[in-house]
Amino acid sequence: MLSQIPLDLSKVKKEDIDKEIMRIGMIAELDAVNLYGQLAAMAQSDGLKKVLLDIAKEEKTHIGEFEALLLLNDPDQVIENEKAKKEIREILSE
């Protein structure tokens, strides 16, 4: 993603804009986690590697914050998350 909004928010219904912004925030944080992880893998300095991995961990917290906020604001997402958990439990128990 690297700083590009992946959809045109002007085409989103007014009541859904905040939910889409939360999802975009999650995408951006996931992108950052991947970027910092890749940079850490390439870093020559152990200190730099350690800092990059620490920053990546902080980005995971941000993902969780956006997700928690989204779940407070999107009942459909709560339902779909529960379906996903059930599906995963079923797949893993096979």
Compute φ and ψ for 22, nearest 5 degrees. -60, -45
Q: Which residues are CB-contacts of 51 (< 8 A; sequence separation ≥ 6)?
A: none
Q: Which two tokens stand for residue 59?
A: 């980005």
Q: Which residues of 18-56 are buried (b: 16+ CB within 10 A; e: fewer)?
A: ebbbbbbbbbbbbebbebbeebbeebeeeeeeeebeebb
pLDDT for residue 2 is more than 80: no
Band of the pLDDT at 7, cuts 50, 70, 90? confident
**Pick from 77, 70, 58, 57: nearest CA to 26:** 70
Residues 6+ apart with CB under 8 A from 39: 52
The residue among 84 and 10 whose pLDDT is bigger is: 84
The larger pLDDT score, comparing residue 34 to residue 8, is at 34
